[in-house]
A and B are shown apart, each in its own frame.
Chain A
């Protein structure tokens, strides 16, 4: 039986067949999302803890929905108003929550490697919902899911990731996942926002949109306002002038993606967002099914548990 590991901390934990297995599972759960009663009993009686140290709307809500549709009991903890704000260390928080015997802990942290540490401190399965600027593996999986549905396969696809790669965990997980699935990846953005030696991840890099026509898929990253403060870009106006993806810059047939939330008029023009080439809504919809699949594969797909069930 080809199972994925005990935790999902990084796309590096998954080989191609594991990714495909999760996506196939997600396809079946997507069908559940179309039913009137969107629930299956797979995780009935089990507890999932969502521990979010950063604000998040779509990731936290889709993890919560995913767990609920699998009939799990869900506890969601945000840093505001919790023990975290009272100075409790991550280790103590995790050990406290582990006393409730959760089946899984989903963690979002502003710091690289936080999910890996949690996995050392708890017997629960740990899912990385974003650790600093390092990785966001479930986002990458839902993006691959969305693209696979649209293209059939990512093999040979040419994918451009445009924008603030330096500060993007989505970019890192997606470079790994897209190349794992057979695509070629080019990152594009201002030289100040492309990490030195990013090519070591297996992608190309460029600082102009000149050859954007080569892309089958244009994956646009969120441009955060605070980047101006540290002079990564002189102004949003200049950034938009050089890097905003507009319907004029998009070639016919190219697919447009974005992890959200979008800064309308900064990295994407309004028309581009609303164009039929955009898959942004499909990405959001894929989130629940893919996260259901991840939870299922980690908690039910594991042979030791399957034997008990």
Chain B
């Protein structure tokens, strides 16, 4: 997907001039896992040197990063920035501030806004706005079908020319196989990954949570795992037949992992993402009936969670995505069945994975770091590396620092975080995105949200 079209949008910032002194650099792609001085000049990594060997640039600060880790910046291939139309939940500024606070140096926004991003004029307005408001580069997916109705295709070629990274009807499945098949055929003309929210509505019905022992106890209609996995199997077959490139969004269950494995073993061009909440929480949390635990796909059983962790470690699942889905508190402060689906996740992704998976020994730190930026390559974006000559896309993280999630509010406009109130370890201190300082710990973007 090498083309000249601009596909990431952010406001111009001052190129960073900075010496990061003695940070422990962990970059799984370059293989570096040692303390280094990192010299940032004019927004790029100028030099890496032994600790104490490099000097600060003339006009720049020195950050003492002894005992602090430096990772390639994270890339989130799945966020909802709610713009246009639902700015009371999130906008480009608050959403990218949340991303930066989570160590992300790029995010990919979903098109299920109001209006839907199904038309080049909507997309152009959005990319222009991102050019003024986004502190972190944002890529945009456009809808596969007009108004996400699953019927008529959008003008995919024009949308690609207007900067669309790819296509998705996320939030909804493309129910009719014939419609998806045409989109996959059309992909040969316009390129762009087709990303799929997999859910058979005939099976998910009115479901509000995972179907299992907990839904039986609560009397809440369940969404069976196979609502997802059968659609993955179907769409992998379509991708094979049309030799198309598809990406499966937010896998949630063991049956989907099996369907993905089968597709990949046949050489079908598929990839997949998984969310921190599905890797760390189960439907047991829904017993609280706290609507922060309501998302789609739903939190599933422990066996599903384990299968997802294994698949992420092996690389069968390619990357982590947050599915950051902000909702206003008045929308979430209703009985569970009435609440909208979604959890925020940008500000907690790394800490949740580090605390719940790395510390207990379920997953290695370098795997988490690699998978948190692997989404970039899937959409043809450059993958952040801490290497001389590369633009500065990195984050500094204190792996010993603990924080009470939400205690000081959120950078996101919404507070519907499923990790709210948890003590997590692994705090992002600084994020450099596209060569500028997008986040620095001591600065707060706005006052704490009232919960």
| Least distance between A166 CB and chain B CB atoms (Å) | 8
B335 and A117 form a contact (CB under 8 A): yes
A116 and B334 form a contact (CB under 8 A): no
Knowing A132-B220, A134-B218, A134-B219 are in contact, say whether A111-B337 is a contact too (CB < 8 A): yes
A:109-123 near B, CB below 8 Å? 109, 111-114, 116-117
B215 and A132 form a contact (CB under 8 A): no
Which of A132, A135, A167, A196 is within 8 Å of B216, CB to CB? A196
B337 and A112 form a contact (CB under 8 A): yes
| Least distance between A128 CB and chain B CB atoms (Å) | 12
B336 and A89 form a contact (CB under 8 A): no
Which of B211, B219, B330, B333 is within 8 Å of A112, CB to CB? B219
B216 and A201 form a contact (CB under 8 A): yes
Is the CB of B213 closer than 8 A to any CB of chain A? yes
Task: Report chain B residues within 8 Å CB of A111.
Answer: 334-338
A195 and B216 form a contact (CB under 8 A): yes
Task: Report chain A residues within 8 Å CB of B450.
Answer: none
With A and B bound together, what is the CA distance between A89 and B334 in angstroms?
8
Which of B212, B224, B335: most chain A Cβ within 10 A?
B335
With A and B bound together, what is the CA distance between A171 and B336 in angstroms?
20
A114 and B216 form a contact (CB under 8 A): no
Give per-residue flags for B197-220: 1 if the beta carbon is below 8 A from chain A beta carbons, else 0: 000000000000001110111111
Task: Report chain A residues within 8 Å CB of B220.
Answer: 112, 132-134
With A and B bound together, what is the CA distance between A89 and B212 in angstroms?
30
Task: Report chain A residues within 8 Å CB of B213.
Answer: 197, 200
With A and B bound together, what is the CA distance between A114 and B333 in angstroms?
10
Is the CB of A198 closer than 8 A to any CB of chain B? yes
Knowing A89-B330, A196-B211, A197-B213 are in contact, say whether A112-B218 is a contact too (CB < 8 A): yes
Is the CB of A91 closer than 8 A to any CB of chain B? yes
With A and B bound together, what is the CA distance between A114 and B289 in angstroms?
9
With A and B bound together, what is the CA distance between A62 and B212 in angstroms?
35
Interface size on B, residues (CB 8 A): 19
Task: Report chain B residues within 8 Å CB of A132.
Answer: 219-220, 335, 337
| Least distance between B78 CB and chain A CB atoms (Å) | 28
With A and B bound together, what is the CA distance between A106 and B336 in angstroms?
19
How many residue pairs bridge A and B at CB < 8 Å? Answer: 67
Is the CB of B137 closer than 8 A to any CB of chain A? no
Give per-residue flags for A226-260: 1 if the beta carbon is below 8 A from chain B beta carbons, else 0: 00000000000000000000000000000000000
Which of B212, B213, B217, B224: most chain A Cβ within 10 A?
B217
With A and B bound together, what is the CA distance between A112 and B216 in angstroms?
12
Task: Report chain A residues within 8 Å CB of B334.
Answer: 89-91, 111, 117
| Least distance between B447 CB and chain A CB atoms (Å) | 23
Task: Report chain A residues within 8 Å CB of B222.
Answer: 195-196
| Least distance between A253 CB and chain B CB atoms (Å) | 31
Knowing A133-B219, A196-B222 are in contact, say whether A112-B335 is a contact too (CB < 8 A): yes
| Least distance between B217 CB and chain A CB atoms (Å) | 6
B217 and A200 form a contact (CB under 8 A): yes
Give per-residue flags for A161-184: 1 if the beta carbon is below 8 A from chain B beta carbons, else 0: 000000111001000000000000
| Least distance between A114 CB and chain B CB atoms (Å) | 5
| Least distance between A3 CB and chain B CB atoms (Å) | 24
A169 and B219 form a contact (CB under 8 A): yes
Which of A109, A168, A198 is within 8 Å of B335, CB to CB? A109
A197 and B216 form a contact (CB under 8 A): yes
Give per-residue flags for B326-352: 1 if the beta carbon is below 8 A from chain A beta carbons, else 0: 000010011111100000000000000
Give per-residue flags for B218-229: 1 if the beta carbon is below 8 A from chain A beta carbons, else 0: 111010100000
Which of B211, B212, B217, B338 is within 8 Å of A172, CB to CB? B217
B216 and A89 form a contact (CB under 8 A): no
Which of B211, B224, B333, B336 is within 8 Å of A91, CB to CB? B333
Task: Report chain B residues within 8 Å CB of A200.
Answer: 213, 216-217
Task: Report chain B residues within 8 Å CB of A169.
Answer: 219
With A and B bound together, what is the CA distance between A114 and B335 in angstroms?
5
Instruction: Report 26 cross-chain contacts, Cβ distance below 8 Å, ordered by A residue.
Output: A89-B334, A91-B333, A111-B337, A112-B219, A112-B289, A112-B335, A112-B336, A114-B335, A117-B333, A117-B335, A132-B335, A133-B218, A133-B219, A133-B220, A134-B219, A167-B219, A169-B219, A195-B219, A196-B211, A196-B215, A197-B213, A197-B216, A198-B216, A200-B213, A201-B216, A201-B217
- Closest 5 pairs (CB-CB, A-B): A133-B219, A113-B289, A111-B335, A200-B213, A195-B216
Q: A113-B218, A201-B217 are in contact. List 18 more A-B contacts (CB 8 A).
A: A89-B330, A111-B337, A111-B338, A112-B218, A112-B337, A113-B289, A116-B289, A117-B335, A132-B220, A133-B219, A134-B219, A134-B220, A172-B217, A196-B211, A196-B215, A196-B216, A197-B216, A198-B216
